[in-house]
Amino acid sequence: MQQKYIDLLDRLDEFFKEIDVPLEEDECCEACELKLNSLNKSVNKAAKNIEQLEIEMGTLKSNSHPPIFSEDDYKDLVKRIKKLENGKK
């Protein structure tokens, strides 16, 4: 993880050299650290939300049941109803 931060700082340093913005190293590091901290917080929040959703989904799956009537049962019921209706006429 630290290597990623170092790589990011190197890229930012190269970027600032290309556009000729004079920044002191301390200012650049502080700004990068603040941005990285905010990104880490966002990622952690998203990870917690995903974890909660996975827990809820697991609960739903464990509490769920197969449908009471299948499509074949529905067709059989329709046939029986039609047979009863025809018998009454």
| pLDDT one-digit tens code per residue, 33-69 | 888 888 888 888 888 888 988 888 888 777 777 767 7
What pLDDT was estimated at residue 41?
Answer: 86
* Prediction pTM value: 0.41
Residue 7, pLDDT score: 75
> Percentage of the chain surpassing pLDDT 90?
4
Give the CA distances from residue 10 to residues 7, 58, 77, in Å, rounded to whole numbers and listed in that order. Answer: 5, 43, 71
> Residue ranges of the domains in the chain?
2-88
Please state whether 70 falls in left (phi above 0), alpha (psi between -120 and 50) or beta: beta
